[in-house]
Copies of this chain bind each other. A is one copy, B any other.
């Protein structure tokens, strides 16, 4: 692979070891293989198209079925339904969730680089801040009064951590992040340039003046959260803005004051969520979608990219369009519009 320059490959590993680690059932040329020869080594992982005869790949998206059928990989992780189309001469590793298991194997080849404990003498750290053991604090980091940082957390250069902010253990805070008025759990990653805890956007209009409404809430971020680059998450006006455990937020997302995301939400890039809106568990919001303020989105709701959501949505609904509709209705609408606009003449 050409990428070796940036990431260090901890391989090779024996195919047998890798297959065992994900409890895969192995096939070769349509026949089940009970024990894979221990001498067969996997040097690396790669894409279906590029994997060579000592590399492992995976197949889940039928768009790439031709690349699967013609793959020259040593082995390929996939699901049982694709066994029939398996290429000859390639070890096929069948698992229930091929993408998750490929991710696990990638993590064997390319584990996260460990924290290198140490506090730069060129960091600006207030004497009342408490930093636990094994943290890595880079130069030009600002850590103000009464900040608490738990063990094994890594802070990149240029990060600004305002008074009394709390950060859990095993977190990674990337270059130039701004943290104010917030509490962050464990194992949470925040990418470069994200701004957390600034004033929410609140004004009262009075006699041709926009009176600034003080914003005295916080931002509470849970465990195992990942937040992309250049996002903005405003602190609450009175109550808090809450990002619960396991939420994953892409780049350039806007989260307004007092928004609440329950466990495991996925928020794709450039989404905007207006103030006081609440999302249930495992809600998925597609890219560039916008949600009005003061609405409630039920557990498991899926919102298509570019949707405009202005009303409450009940649990497990799938919606699309702006203003958003149930997804089937939206598809019907776009089909009708397409038909109308492809007629020879307007009536």
Contacts and interface: CB of A to CB of B under 8 A. Distances in A.
Interface of A: 1-3, 5-7, 45-47, 50, 61, 63, 97, 99-100, 102-104, 106-107, 109-110, 122, 124, 138-140, 142, 156-158, 160, 163-164, 174-176, 178, 181, 191-193, 195, 198-199, 201-206, 208-214, 216-218, 226, 228-232, 234, 236, 238-240, 246, 248, 250-252, 254, 256, 264, 266, 268-270, 272, 274, 282, 287-288, 290, 292, 294, 305-306, 308, 322-323, 325, 329-330, 332-342, 346
Contacts of A5: 164
A107 B322 CA distance: 38
| A interface: dominant SS | loop
Contacts of A250: 201, 254
B107 A214 contact: yes
A196 to B, nearest CB: 9
A160 to B, nearest CB: 4
Contacts of A216: 3, 6-7, 106, 110
A274 B252 CA distance: 13
B335 A346 contact: yes
Contacts of A178: 174-176, 192-193, 229
A50 B239 contact: yes
Given A228-B232, A240-B3, A292-B305, A211 B160 contact: no
A306 B333 contact: no
A114 B340 CA distance: 58
Nearest to A288: B290
Given A6-B164, A201-B269, A228-B198, A339 B335 contact: no
B106 A229 contact: no
A143 B231 CA distance: 25
Which 10 A-B residue pairs are closest in the complex by CB-CB distance?
A: A333-B341, A100-B204, A100-B206, A232-B251, A195-B229, A99-B204, A178-B192, A103-B213, A106-B214, A160-B175
Contact of A139 (B142, B193, B217, B251): B142
Contacts of A208: 264, 282
A236 to B, nearest CB: 8
A206 B97 contact: yes
A336 B97 CA distance: 43
A198 B191 contact: yes
A266 B160 contact: no
A324 B217 CA distance: 36
A336 B181 CA distance: 46
22 contacts: A3-B217, A7-B181, A7-B216, A97-B204, A100-B204, A103-B212, A106-B214, A110-B214, A158-B160, A158-B176, A160-B176, A201-B248, A203-B248, A208-B264, A232-B251, A251-B254, A254-B269, A270-B290, A325-B341, A330-B341, A336-B340, A339-B346
